[in-house]
Structure 1
Amino acid sequence: MALISIDRERGLLTAEIQGLDKLWSLKSRLEIPLAHVRGATHDPGIARERKGIRVGGTNLPGVITAGRFLSNGERLFWDVKNPDKAVVIELADAETYDRLVIEVDDPRATVALIEQSIARG
Structure 2
Amino acid sequence: MKLNLTTDLLTIELEWYEQLWAVTLERQMHIPLDRIDRATTDEPQSNWAEIRAPGTFLPGVIKAGTYYTKRGREFWYVTTDNNYLTLELHDEPYRQIVITIPDNLAWCDRLNRSLNQQDR
TM range (shorter): 0.7 to 0.9
Q: Structure 1: how far apart are the matches of 2:27 and 2:55?
A: 12
Q: Structure 1: how far apart are the matches of 2:10 and 2:77?
A: 16
User: Which residue of 1 is the match for residue 86 of structure 2?
Assistant: 88
Q: Tell me the SS of whatever aligns to 2:13.
A: strand
Identity of aligned residues (%): 31
Q: Structure 2: how far apart are the matches of 1:82 and 1:5?
A: 23
What are the Cα deviations for residues 49-89 of structure 1, in whole angstroms up to 9, with x where unaligned? 21610011211111111110100151100001134111110
Q: Structure 1: how far apart are the matches of 2:15 and 2:113?
A: 24
Aligned length: 115
Q: Structure 2: how far apart are the matches of 1:28 and 1:102?
A: 15
Q: CA deviation at 1:103?
A: 1.0
Q: Structure 2: how far apart are the matches of 1:86 and 1:22?
A: 19
Q: Structure 2: how far apart are the matches of 1:59 and 1:24?
A: 9
Structure 2: which 5+ residue stretches go unaligned? none
Q: CA deviation at 1:18?
A: 2.9
Write out aligned runs for 1:69-80 (5 A). 69-80=67-78
For normalisation by structure 2, the TM-score amounts to 0.87
Query: What one-letter code is carried by the residue in structure 2 that aligns with 1:38?
Result: D
What are the Cα deviations for residues 6-38 of structure 1, in whole angstroms up to 9, with x where unaligned? 121xx2111112351121112421111111011
Q: Structure 2: how far apart are the matches of 1:35 and 1:73?
A: 20
Aligned-residue CA RMSD in angstroms? 1.6
**Aligned structure 1 segments of 4 or more residues deviating by more than 2 angstroms:** none
Greater relative contact order structure (CA < 8 Å, 6+ sep): 1
